[in-house]
Structure 1
Amino acid sequence: MGPGGEASGHTARKSLDSMLLMIVLLAVSHTDSLPLRNDRDTSGTSEDYYSHHGIRCRRCPAGTYVEEGCAKPDTQGTCVPCSDGFNYSEHPTGLPHCLSCRRCREDQEEVSPCIRTQDTVCRCKEGTYCPPEHPCEVCLTCTPSCPPGQDFKLPCNSTSNGQCGPNNYGHGWIGWISVPAVLILLGLGVYLCLRNRSGGGNSITHTHIYRCLFKLDPRREDSDIPLLPARLSFPEGADRERNFSQAFYVFEKLVPFTYWAQFVRTLGLTGNEIKEAEANNHRNAKEQRYDMLSTWHMHNPNRDVNCLLETLCSIGLQTVAQTITDNLLESNLFVRHAQS
């Protein structure tokens, strides 16, 4: 190979070496930017650990309970199995006992028995139902028949009532007329709302449309609903524990049932703590919710009502949080926090 070829090969090797060096540096840089895992980080709430006499212990597995807590941090104490047909623990647990198995009511039938890792599964007997989004304190009787001119489109089952709909004869044509009429009236209402929002002018913005279509509370303009409600504090001389406990009933009443599980899990309650509250108040949904909030308060004595309101906002329930705030102020359980 001539001098020109050697020079060309040397230049190619230098370019290849430079490229490989750049790739290595980029890989190292990317690796250095990744967050380091800290298994001993005790901040926040962990599903893997619980506190025992100030020591962080690893939870016992599902199907067991903690007979004795750990003596060294981040280790597991003594775990004892639950008994099939008698008690259970569905999730990793730090509780000193298993949860008692559920017994199906007289209006229910057993789908699967209680085992160490799962409670008894019950359902309403044939001819009755209970919607899953409601506390099933009693099974409801299925609708025996549909109104004149309608037939069952979906039969009744253990979780929903039968669904009626227009049949193919009789007066089914009424529905075809009523639907366009409703759409026309809805469109007219939105149009008038938009004209009112824009002050009668021709400039209609996306904000105007949003407020007309998604206004959640007719008593309040959307712009008046803040992302976070006003911060609250106890009135001077108030019995703080009593007021806080009374506030739990306000949350129990106003937080929608379909969001309750998400709300308490976001607060940090474990699956077993939720199950225990339900088991301790089996036929009383109101006391189940109160018990869950009391458990949260026991584990977080330094947290206040503002934490509950902020948690609602974090899961998209700003309007609910504002309504609860108004209720707490009107009942004199809390006052607006004085700005320093």
Structure 2
Amino acid sequence: MNKGILLKACVCVFFSVVLLCEALPTPPPGTDPKRGGLLGQRTCSQGLYPSARLCCLNCPAGEHQVSPCSSDRGSSVCSECPMGTFTEHSNNLHTCLPCTRCRPDQEEVQPCSPTNDTVCRCKSGYFCALEQPCEVCQRCRSCKDGEALVKSCTAHSNSECAKTPTPGTPTKALWWILGVSVFAVGGVFCVWVYKKRNPWLTCLPSPSPGHSQQNDDDSLLVPLNGEKSLKLCFEYFHVDMESKVHKRFFRSLDLSDNAINNANIEDRVYELLGVWLQREGQVATLHHLLRKLRDLDQNRTADSIVEKAIDNGHYERVVIPPLSGKSDE
């Protein structure tokens, strides 16, 4: 009797589950229930964005998207940014970005336009350090009694003061100049004596003082494919440069904080180097980017980029011959 009741209960449960499954909504065609997205979603190349199963052209800088394209690789319907908004790059944004308003402690250097955000800087007597986010402008330092102004305050650096030396006491700068002069004279004398003992050395070109032959200042990196060589090297900056250096590096290229902060984090290096390249045009060089890295003490990163650029056939190194003089008789 108990087995019969148990059997009937199992049959009821089975039919209840079947009826419940049939009542669930069926996912629309082309939908992957595991991923919850469209099957065959396209991956579009640079300058295009996916819409349904199409790839549409981005809207140009200064405009935003109203509606996507109706044919593959077709143009989107775009509209100009209204006053008070902008887009600096090609995009598929539905609305333009609001223009930055300078704070009370800042002054406007460049007004906002449909393709560029407002450029602000600290007012006279205030500054913001380049390596820090400019949240508040700080008051410039005033030299105290017994101090002399060494470096004036700028929009990006504080004043520098030094103690006024006591009359008759040699300054540190004077001792430094004397020390360097003695070292230079001694070095020249040693080289002269050495060449006198080894006359054959006068036939060999010598590198410029203070540099090795492999130094950027003694050689020239020549692109093998024009501007394309420079663009291909952007990948090395993306891989080798530490993220903590990004803001300082792009500020040194005179890119605004707004542009840096609004850049896509994953493609920040590519995007901002592209903005720099578009601004500089034909005068843009790999040498300039490497010099900015070295100014930030990123010599290892700069050396790695140079090595990759040469090894992958984008650039070749041409050694600049040193100035030659007549050898001693």
Report the TM range for the smaller structure's normalisation.
0.3 to 0.5
TM-score of the two chains, using structure 2 as the length reference: 0.44
TM-score calculated relative to the size of structure 1: 0.43
Query: Which one has the bigger helix percentage?
Result: 1
